[in-house]
Amino acid sequence: MSENSTVLIVDDDPISRFTVKALLEQEKIYNLEFAENGEQGLKKALEIIPDVMLLDVMMPGIDGFEVCRRLRTHHHLAELPIVMVTTLDDRKSRLRGIEAGADDFMSKPFDQEELCARIRTITRLNRYRRLVETKEQLFNLANYDSLTKLPNRSLLTERLRQSIERATRSSQSVAVLALELDNFKTLNESLGHEIGDKILCEITQRLNNTISNGATVSHFSADEFVIIFDTENAVKDINEIAPALLANIQKQMTIDDYEMVVTACIGISVFPNDAEDSGDLLKHAELALSRAKSSDKNSYQFFTSEMNEVALERLKLENKLRKVLKQDELRVYYQPQIELSNGKLIGMEALVRWQNPEWGLVSPAKFVPIAEETGLIIDIGEWVLRTACKQNKAWQRAGHSPTRVSVNLSSRQFQIPNLLEVIKDALDESELEPKYLELELTESVLLEDSIDKKNSIFSTLSELQTMGVKIAIDDFGTGYSSLSYLKRFPVNTLKIDRSFVKDVCTNNDDAAITSAIIAMAHSLRLSIVAEGVEDADQLAFLKKRECEVIQGYYFSRPLSTGDMTKKFEKIGRQAIFQ
């Protein structure tokens, strides 16, 4: 806002315009703008957004009443102070002016003192009003989410602090519920951000309709809300409110003709049981939320002290994991794959292991999910690929029978634009022929692909297969098994997950599923590998159904490079079993 107030004078009479100019210029605190008729007045008002308008009533074309009405319909000028100037001193004209939206009236000819006093008062009040509005806007920007109009993280933290102070004085509790929508990122990306925003607004309304007065609903981040409320009986109140929130959220909604059901998970912490300050309460609610998300969709979990210990351990593990490549702590182990028809070693799966100086050999189940979540799996996966290719070529150069090495690719690796170049470089660097490399990926990777997308997974796999690299689907049957993607994507091998093989001789369902997968693979002319074979009965079952390749502890655990070399030297070309 400029130091001087801007006054727009709209009058068709040049003498009136000159008079007003002469009177107000003496004040030396106004920027004066002029318009000669109603049309010009409307246009100029929109251009300059004045602080006050002196508006003549009687003008040719659009009169002052119509100008006033139109200004009141424009959101930028609805609050503009308008002083109507008229020679008509009758009550009827003034009523028309009020109905049109005028704030004040003056009569011609002008009285200098009255004119200056009125303009001075109006501009002062208008400046004050704008100052108040600006402060309110700044406060709202700082404390409320612009989309949902809910308190943001900053205001929520302050309200939580106040709730803790009240609860301390009254010996009550404060419940903190961290709520995150399931798969919102997928909805946002597939349907568009505009629909995603409408979903968030609908969820906001449902949350507000569910909780009682006195509670605070906050939009904490893109797909996360935090709810806090004071309570005398935390367990009872939370066990009533949390299911109600989840139930209302998952009711079907229609957004722009899209019908959908959205679910959520909730993590809960309680003052003073779980923490005594706002930061720790929020952190513990987030930990509980992570537990809820990992257990099931549409569920809620309470924080426990054990969760905090797990979180600290995870943080420590993550920090060490970031240094594994630099400190050369990763190892590749190899698990043999045996061809059932002749009992010979046909291939091996490369499996990453972490040899930590403090913890020893760390289980992949412990560190691979964290590597996936943090994106560290991209560099780790590339290291495993290059190492496995080099070692396989080294065994061939040593005179051992050429075999294929299978390397797992994470879905995260398919997100990098140069994956194809990375694989080609690994083959070129090691001089390994592409036919001796097999890449394993999960079903979920294929489901994330779009055939119309440039550099899609489909095109990458097609080029790899053209080069001679084999493609295998790992853990088949545990995801979203579909004939459609098996027909569409260039796939050579299906690997039956160990969870089916484990009880194949004692569980009819597992036996039926395993038999069906083998039969389907044969009908689609795909190779089949059974993982997790641990005893002779499982082997007999699979052999009877003509499963082609076996992998599991019955033949060998994953072996270090040295032990795998000894295995090559021991068996040569002989069959491991007859």
Percent of the chain with pLDDT over 70: 92
Q: Which residues of 260-299 are buried (b: 16+ CB within 10 A; e: fewer)?
A: eebebbbbbbbbeebbeebeebbbbbbbbbbbbbeeeebb
Task: Enter the tokens of residue 342.
Answer: 């002749």
Average pLDDT estimate for 100-128: 76
Q: For helices 153-170 and 278-295, what crossing angle results, to 10°?
A: 110
Q: Is the pLDDT of residue 447 over 80?
A: no
Q: Tell me: pLDDT of 90 over 90.
A: no
Strands 52-56 vs 5-10: parallel, antiparallel or unpaired: parallel
pLDDT at 455 over 70: no
Q: Is there a contact between 392 and 405 (Cβ–Cβ < 8 Å)?
A: yes
Q: If pLDDT is split at 50, 70 and 90, which confidence band does 468 have?
A: very high
pLDDT at position 506 over 50: yes
pLDDT exceeds cutoff 70 at 307: no
Judged by DSSP in three states, 271 sits in strand
The confidence score (pLDDT) of residue 448 equals 63
Confidence of residue 488 (pLDDT cuts 50, 70, 90): confident
As a whole number, mean pLDDT of residues 207-224 equals 88
For the chain, give the mean pLDDT.
Answer: 86
Among 3.40.50.720, 3.30.1490.20, 3.40.50.150, 3.40.50.2300, name the CATH number for the domain at 5-143: 3.40.50.2300
Q: In the predicted model, is pLDDT for residue 332 greater than 90?
A: yes
Q: State residue 6's pLDDT score.
A: 87
In which band, very low, low, confident or very high, does the pLDDT at 458 lie, cut at 50, 70 and 90? confident
pLDDT tens digit string along 352-385? 999 999 999 998 988 998 898 888 999 999 999 9
Checking DSSP bridges between strand 527-530 and strand 549-550, what pairing results, if any? parallel
Range in 58-62, 233-237, 310-314, 533-537 with the lowest mean pLDDT: 310-314
What is the model's pLDDT at position 79? 79
pLDDT of residue 452: 44
Confidence (pLDDT) at 350: 97
Question: HEC string of 201-252?
Answer: HHHHHHHHHHCCCCCEEEEEECCEEEEEEEECCHHHHHHHHHHHHHHHHCCC
The pLDDT score that the predictor gives to residue 208 is 92
> Which phi-psi region, left, alpha or beta, contains residue 560 (left: φ > 0; alpha: ψ -120 to 50)?
beta
Domain 315-570 adopts which CATH fold? TIM Barrel (3.20.20)
Cα separation, 121 vs 213, whole angstroms: 42
| 153-303 belongs to CATH 3.30.360.10 | no
Evaluate if residue 56 carries a pLDDT over 50: yes
526-555 residue pLDDT tens: 999 999 999 999 999 999 999 999 999 999
Query: What pLDDT does 283 receive?
Result: 92
User: What pLDDT does residue 228 have?
Assistant: 95
More confidently predicted of 353 and 108: 353
- What is the pLDDT confidence band of residue 24, given thresholds at 50, 70 and 90? confident
Q: What is the pLDDT of residue 2?
A: 47
Q: Which residue has the tokens 């050369």?
A: 328
Under the banding of pLDDT at 50, 70 and 90, the label for residue 58 is confident
Domain boundary assignment for the chain: 5-143, 153-303, 315-570
Question: For residue 53, which amino acid is it?
Answer: M
Residue 428 has pLDDT above 90, yes or no: yes
Residues 515-527: pLDDT tens digits?
A: 999 998 998 899 9
Q: Are strands 493-496 and 300-302 parallel, antiparallel or unpaired?
A: unpaired
* Arithmetic mean of pLDDT, 141-163: 87
- Distance, CA of 188 to chain centre: 8
Query: Residue 255: which residues within 8 A CB-CB, separation 6 or more?
Result: 191, 195, 198, 199, 202
pLDDT given for residue 577 in this prediction: 57
Instruction: Name the band, by pLDDT with cuts 50, 70 and 90, for residue 482.
Output: low
Residue 1 clears pLDDT 50, i.e. is over it: no
| DSSP sequence for 88-125 | ---HHHHHHHHHHT--EEEESSPPHHHHHHHHHHHHHH
- What DSSP letter does each residue of 344-362 carry, written as one string? EEEEEEEEEEEEETTTEEE
Distance of CA 106 to the CA centre of its chain: 59
